[in-house]
Structure 1
């Protein structure tokens, strides 16, 4: 029953976003939930970069697979 009488936060957030837009603030720096949006992006970015470098390093050393000797 908590959502039935919940206050409407849309006008407040709209003013916040419009003020930040006028100040040329990036969208991911406006709200406090931004780390939740950026964390999966950073994990995927650096994870795939590290995996690519690992694979390239093994290929340079003569290994054709991710694991093992062959």
Structure 2
């Protein structure tokens, strides 16, 4: 029954995060799994910025519709 007798990884991870924090490492650079959410966030952020610029450019040119 590995589920009930599993090792507690929290103290090990806590020591890792605290050591990295003392070295002024950003939170998303501490663990590789943190980048899993950073990549989609960057893609969505860049996409919305590009779509916003596209819409503003069309508005400046006199088009009131998005497409």
Matched pairs, number? 67
Q: Which runs of 5+ in 1 are unaligned?
A: none
Residue matched to 1:61: 61
CA displacement 1:16-67 (0-9 Å, x = unmatched) = 0111011111111101112112123212211110110110111122210101
Q: Which structure has the highest helix share of the two?
A: 2
Distance in 1 of aligned mates of 2:2 and 2:57: 55
Residue matched to 1:25: 25
Residue matched to 1:14: 14
Distance in 1 of aligned mates of 2:50 and 2:20: 35
TM-score, structure 2 normalization: 0.84
Distance in 2 of aligned mates of 1:62 and 1:48: 21
TM-score, structure 1 normalization: 0.81
